[in-house]
Each structure stands twice: as C-alpha cells, then as structure tokens.
Structure 1
C-alpha cells in the first residue's frame, strides 16, 4: 500500500501473529487500525517464503492443538478455520518402524487416551507406571511457579530413561522447543494438563494446510476488509509522543498519527522500535534475560510416496518430527511426495553444515522408512531458524512484561509478554487480544477479546481445579 499521512485509533508495529490478532480484534470492534510490517510478508516467525534455489515455498512447520482457543477464534473470525487439518491422535515411530498410536477412545477425560497408552509398545510396563503416577500431578492443574526445570522435576519423580526418551522428552521438546534443563516445568505441566488430561478436544492436533504466510495472509486480508490498513515493507524509525497522540515515523519519510501504539515485535527488536527513553520507561530491566531457541527443518521432495503417514514423532534420532506436507495439503496425485523433518532446540545443528545435516537426516529417515533408500530424491533444502522461539527458561515469568505499560497509549504484544502461555502461536494471539483490550480501555471501551480456556470434560469436570 502507498504511504499516506493519516490518523488512526491504533498503529500496530509488526504483522506477526500477535500484531495481526490485535489488529483483527480492534478493527472488528470498529477502531481505525494500521499495521506496519518491515517484511514483504506477514506471519512474523510463523512465516513462509519462496526459496529461490528450490523454486518452492517453504516454511518451518508450526502446529496447534485443540486447547488453543484464541488461535482457533482468530482463524474462525478470519474465515480460515477450514484451512486447518485436524488429527485425533499422535503417531510415535521407533527406528525399524515399530509404531505407537496414542489415539482417542470413547472413555471420559482424563482416561480418553488410556487404552492406547496402556498398549503402547514404545514404553515398558515400568515406564507406563512411572508416567501414569507422575501425570497425576497435573490432574488438578499445573505448577504456578515457574522456577523448576523439567529435568529437575523428572529426577524428583524418578522417571526411567525409557519414559524420558519416549514420552516426556518428545512431548516437551516439540511443544516448548528447548531442552529439558532449559524448560520451566510450569509450562510443561500446562502442556500435559491441557492436552493429555483436561479434555479429549484439547489434545487434538491441528496443522495449517497452507504455507504459513499465505495462511496468516488471510487474517491480514480480513483485517483490511474490516477497515484496517496494512503497510508492508515499511520500517519504523522512531516513535514520538505529541501530547495525547503518537507520531510513528517511518524510514524513508512519512508518519502515521495515532491515539495508541502497539509494539508487536520480537523482544530483541523492541529496543529499536521504542528507543532508549521509552525503553527505559517501559522495560527498565531490558531484554537481556530473554533468549532464543532454534529450529532446523529439512525439506525433501521425492518422486513418489513411501509412507501414508501424514505426520509422526521420530524417536531415538536427531529428528523430532516428520510432516508429510503433500498429504497434509492434499496435493494432487502424481506430484510426488514432500516431507519436512524438524529438529527442535537445534542449538548444536546451527554450527553444522547443511551437507552434514542433510546426510545424517536422510540416513535417520531411512531407518524408519527403508523404502526411502530406493525412492528418488528430487531436491532438498535445509532451513535454519536461529530465532524460532523464545525460551521459557525457569524463572522467566518475572521478566515477561504485561501488555499495558507505564506510558499512556503505548502497549506491548508478543508471545514473550505475559500471556500465561509459552512461545506458541496461541501465546502470540493471546498477547494480541490482551493488547487490544488494553488499547480499548485507553480509548474508553471495556471490550473483551480473550477467549476462555476449554472447559474440563468428562471426569475432569470434578477433578480439575477451576
């Protein structure tokens, strides 16, 4: 969109998930909203882009689960709920191909996965008894204090090595994208309570069927249809308070005038957007205590399918997950097979060459799917996301700021702010809705946008702590 000086109720800086959620909520409530994004695409860290060498659109796969009530609300409001493919179970594979299906049954929560868990070949009887005993810690809720690491908690609960390798670690590292010693048990406990115990709906797995920037591009289009304005490829140079208004100065000239501003950028970019004076007023502690955790993804295009699985957790190797994207997206038959392999918390892999990563990943993939050895690989690519998520380190909650700041008219958004959730798309949407509520209050409205959590179901209606 061409740049024009105009007045808005709110200018949102950043068109990631948080910024789009805030803009969607506010524009839907009748506010005049502008979104400024420095990149030529939306989605923030949940993005996709055309890879020039591969001539394919690639992304690092992000998923959601049924308990992501705010993300699901945003998708529903934007008309893209039907662009999510839902699955009622999880597949775990061991090298050699032995499969465990954790699937829903007709039993009431928290027993809805009990039959498949009891039959899981990936776990010994000792593992299952230890996991079942430990999971009882989360029936009534999860820790509110975030100071203990998952690794420490597992030691306290005397979890066997097999239980850690085949259950605790795969779930935690996939959900929180960091190692067990670097993840707070408060957030891991939330994952287990919400997805494995509270309700069957909460644990369903959802995968967008479009590349992520296309997926969230529909949200941006919905905001524009509600009267919002999107400025892409525009960077904010500085913010200036002018009495009760804000001037958002853009690089290359031009400014937007607004009653309020939402900074919806990653934590490392906040000092650049706010500048020294505002940063000191808003976050005197700075952002030095925050850090990133990387994700590495290996993209593979084969001439034909060698598995009918849409997705699977891959155990006892460096690969955490396989997404069969041509099946998830229901690509036409005869167009080959597109797989993405993800390596969460890939700190070590950032230092390795792409050739080394690709060679090892192919060898590991073939240990699960021997037919891959005789299937022609047409092309491949490696995508390293050094700043994929922020780490929910033990004790991080004391550093995460609220959305409403001490500076009138200036609001923060981002999954790294206080959302009650870890670094997820759901956390981003929640932060955007909370930021929109803060803006609404400053504009004289008491509108609420944050959606309630899924209600406890089955036996959990009496067992869960409300």
Structure 2
C-alpha cells in the first residue's frame, strides 16, 4: 500500500494502535494523512506472525474491557467491532480444578459482582471482608497521585496474604504487567474503579477473534479506503524541520512534506527517529526514566479439547492466564485445541530456556486440567516479549510527556505519553486521539476526538466523582 503523493496535512510515523488512532481521527476530519511503518504489519506490539517452523499464526493475546471507550470507538469506526467477542464472566481456577467465577449480575453498580463474589470459593470470608473494605476506597474514584506502590497500599490496608494471592495480585499483574512493588496504586485503583465498581459495562471482557495483525490490519485497510496512505516495510531515514514545514525522508528515497508530524513510536525509538537535538527540544525531560516489563506466552496445540473454558486466571502458579484461542476463534473440533498461557511481568523467565519454560508450564497446566495428560501435544511455541509494556512505576507520571510538544508541528503519541491510563491498548488509542487533536489545532481545526469515559451507572451515579 504505497502512496504516490508527497504533500500531506499530517505524516504519522509508527502504525501501532497510537498511530492507527491518529490516522483514524485525522482522516475522519478531512485531513490528507500518510502513515509510515517499518514493519510488514500494523498493530505495533499488538501483532501476530506466521511461525515459520510450526506453520501456525502466533500472537501474545491482548484483551480489552468495556471501559476502554476509545479502543471500542476505533474498532466501531473501522467496522471491526463485531470481531471482538465479549464475556461477562471471569473464571479463577485453583490447582486441582476448583473454579470460582466473578460474574456480572443485574444488580446496580457497584453491586454487580456481589453475588458471585460472596460465593467465590477461592476466598475465605476473612478475605472477602478485607477486600470489600479496601474496595470502598475506590467508590468515588482512585488516587490522583501516583507515588504509592500497590504493595505498600495493600500493607496499609492490612490485606491477608491469601486475598493478595487470589484477588489483588492476579488482577493487578494481568492489567498492569508488573509486580505489586513496581506498580503505582493510582493505576491499579483505576483498574478496580473502572472495571469492578463504576458500571457493569465497564467490567466486560473483550477478546479479538482474529490474530492481532489481521484484526488491526483491517483497521488500516479501512482507512486506506477512506483516502489515507499507508507505507508498510518503509523506514524513515531522516526527519527535518524546514521553517513551518517538515520533511520526512524515507529510506527508499521518497520525500514527504507536511505541516504536522506525529511520532507514534515507543519511547526508546524516539531519539533514533527524530535525532538527539530535536528529541531534546521536544522532550526536555528525556525518556531515561522509562523501563520495560516483559510478557512470556506459551502456545500449545493439542489434538482435542480438555476444557470448555474460553479463558481463566490460573492461581498459585507461574501462569497468570489461560486463553483457549481455538474456542475464542470458534475453530471446528477437528482442528484440535489451541491454548495460550501467559506469564506477565516475566522478568526471570527471560533468562530461562524454552525447554524449561515449556516443561514447567505444561506441568502447571495439568494441575488445573488433569485430562490434558491424556491429550496429545502436537506443537508448541514459546514467545518472549522483553519490551511488552512500559512499567507504571510509582512516580512515573511526572515524566510522561503531553502529546503536543514545545516544537511547533511536532506531536508524540504512544501509551507511554500522558494519557491518564497505564500501558494498555486504551492508553495507546487515547494518545493517538490526543495527538490528532493537537495536530488538528495546528492545522486550524478545533476537532475533538478523545472519547469520554463510560458514565457511572446504578448507585455509582451518586458516589463516583467525575
């Protein structure tokens, strides 16, 4: 998908979710936009690829929840909203197979999960009382400052170790992809407020039914049909400011001129893209305070199904989550069963061998699903993503830059920028919309693209602060 023109209202570099959101917003406002991506696919870290040895398409599962209003808006605008499968139940499994479900009921928020929470076998009554008392901290909102860690907050709230193991830790590490001592309570509080309390809709779980590059590729294709230009497999050789104009020189020799440019690359690539001098002007605080947190996923293809669950949190092991991808994607039974096991914040696993990880993960899986021992494992793969997310360390907010920089015509986007959200797909899309709003202003338009949060529902209409 290569364009022939060289003059654009905006050039966006990086086709992750931030870049796709910026393209979406600007094109719908009538701007002429080019999107440049060095990889052969879009989606950024939300990608999939054909495993050359296994001949299977592999990705690290990304999910969204109902409160992700901007991701949902992006999907709806591009016509792919029906390719997300939604769930109203979270299953928690203990070794041995005992299952506890947190299910959305018809009770008004914030009581929607109360019946299932009250009967959850994974928690004692002491745990439930402690958790319920602590959750009251988030009825009106969540912390506005980010200086306290989740671990310190849990100690301050005197949470039992069993409540931490079976509730707080699984939710936080799955949502924020880091350990409790490395996550800011501001963002953990946001997770609990938006998904468990504010409204039932906010807590629904959505999983794309296509491999991620195919899913987000359809969004890119939609905007090409709307008049956008996408340069894939194209690197940027140089970005140069010329008065009120920008020149983007591509490695193939083509030059794109524009009034506004959006850098939608990860924090560690900004200086490589813009150069040290321009980066220092645009981001005077730099990016040295940012660091990554990894995710490791184990992919297993069996000859038959041994569980009817589409997904589940696996407690008391090294695995955070199981996604039954063949069921989510509605494979025919004869294709067998495809499962992905995710290990969030997998700092130690980065140094382990594939064989060690695979053997331990299969052994842990069989603790939950004994019938897996009689199934035949046809194929397996281990995917390590060392730079899966940035860490929302306590105190990081002061280093997250706004999307509109001090350099006229230059915007930055990415989940690491100042979005009010942690390192999530929602944060990335919000950054793209905010960068597009800044670009639109510099082009003489007052268009607004950022979508509002879900309104509080039920009793939360009286309790939640806006």
What TM-score do the two structures reach when normalised by structure 2?
0.99
Please give the alpha-carbon distance, in whole angstroms, between the structure 2 residues aligned to 1:172 and 1:463. 24
Aligned to 2:39: 39
Please give the alpha-carbon distance, in whole angstroms, between the structure 1 residues aligned to 2:41 and 2:57. 12
Aligned 8 A contact 1:24 1:222 in 2: no
Aligned 8 A contact 2:49 2:59 in 1: yes
Shift in Å at residue 4 of structure 1? 3.9
Q: Deviation string for 1:390-440 (max 9, x for gaps)?
A: 100000000000000000000000000000000000000000000000000
Aligned to 1:200: 200
SS at match of 1:414: coil
Please give the alpha-carbon distance, in whole angstroms, between the structure 2 residues aligned to 1:355 and 1:285. 42
SS at match of 1:45: coil
Aligned 8 A contact 1:5 1:254 in 2: no
SS at match of 2:342: strand
Aligned 8 A contact 1:14 1:264 in 2: yes
Please give the alpha-carbon distance, in whole angstroms, between the structure 2 residues aligned to 1:238 and 1:4. 19
Please give the alpha-carbon distance, in whole angstroms, between the structure 1 residues aligned to 2:102 and 2:252. 54
Please give the alpha-carbon distance, in whole angstroms, between the structure 2 residues aligned to 1:302 and 1:2. 40
Aligned to 2:66: 66
Aligned 8 A contact 2:67 2:203 in 1: yes
Stretch moving more, 253-262 or 435-444: 253-262
Please give the alpha-carbon distance, in whole angstroms, between the structure 1 residues aligned to 2:232 and 2:92. 41
SS at match of 2:340: strand
User: What are the equivalent positions in structure 2 for 1:397-416 lying under 5 Å apart?
Assistant: 397-416=397-416
Number of residue pairs the alignment of both structures matches: 466
Taking a change above 3 Å as real, the CA distance of residues 344 and 288 of structure 1, as seen in their structure-2 partners, is same
Aligned 8 A contact 1:182 1:394 in 2: yes
Please give the alpha-carbon distance, in whole angstroms, between the structure 1 residues aligned to 2:183 and 2:237. 35
Aligned to 1:213: 213
Aligned to 2:327: 327
SS at match of 2:234: coil
Aligned 8 A contact 1:151 1:180 in 2: yes
Shift in Å at residue 291 of structure 1? 0.4
Aligned to 2:122: 122
Aligned to 1:292: 292
Shift in Å at residue 5 of structure 1? 5.2
Shift in Å at residue 253 of structure 1? 1.7
Please give the alpha-carbon distance, in whole angstroms, between the structure 2 residues aligned to 1:79 and 1:106. 29
Aligned 8 A contact 1:268 1:287 in 2: yes
Aligned 8 A contact 1:306 1:369 in 2: yes
Aligned to 1:153: 153
SS at match of 1:181: helix
Please give the alpha-carbon distance, in whole angstroms, between the structure 2 residues aligned to 1:252 and 1:7. 17
Aligned 8 A contact 2:3 2:229 in 1: no
Aligned to 1:104: 104
SS at match of 1:11: strand
Aligned to 1:433: 433
Aligned 8 A contact 2:178 2:391 in 1: yes
Runs of 5+ unmatched residues, structure 2? none
Stretch moving more, 59-68 or 247-256: 247-256
Please give the alpha-carbon distance, in whole angstroms, between the structure 1 residues aligned to 2:4 and 2:385. 34
Shift in Å at residue 451 of structure 1? 0.4
Shift in Å at residue 286 of structure 1? 1.4
Please give the alpha-carbon distance, in whole angstroms, between the structure 2 residues aligned to 1:227 and 1:177. 37
Q: Deviation string for 1:280-330 (max 9, x for gaps)?
A: 101122111000000000000000000000000000000000000000000
User: What are the equivalent positions in structure 2 for 1:427-466 lying under 5 Å apart?
Assistant: 427-466=427-466
Shift in Å at residue 238 of structure 1? 1.5
User: What are the equivalent positions in structure 2 for 1:116-265 lying under 5 Å apart?
Assistant: 116-265=116-265
Aligned 8 A contact 2:2 2:229 in 1: no
Runs of 5+ unmatched residues, structure 1? none
User: What are the equivalent positions in structure 2 for 1:290-369 lying under 5 Å apart?
Assistant: 290-369=290-369
